Amino acid sequence: MHKTTASAFLVGLLFGFGLLVSGMANPEKVLGFLDLFGAWDPSLALVMAGAIGVGLIAFRFAGGRERTVLGEPMRIPTKRDLDARLIIGSLGFGVGWGLVGFCPGPALVALGAGEAKAIVFVTAMLGGMAAFELLERNKS
Measured CA to CA, the distance from residue 129 to residue 123 in angstroms comes to 10
Give, as one character, the DSSP assignment of residue 126: H
* For residue 30, pLDDT beyond 90: no
* Residue 53 confidence class, pLDDT cut points 50, 70, 90: very high
Q: For the chain, how many residues are written?
A: 140
Q: How far is CA 75 from CA 27, 53, 62, 78, 79, in A?
A: 32, 20, 9, 9, 12
Q: Which domain holds residue 124?
A: 3-139
Tens of pLDDT, residues 115-140: 888 999 999 999 989 998 998 888 76
Mean pLDDT computed over 28-41: 88
Tens of pLDDT, residues 73-121: 888 888 888 998 889 989 988 888 888 888 888 899 889 888 888 999 9
The domain total for the chain is 1
User: Taking a C-beta distance cutoff of 8 angstroms, is the pair 43, 29 a contact?
Assistant: yes
Tens of pLDDT, residues 17-26: 888 888 888 8
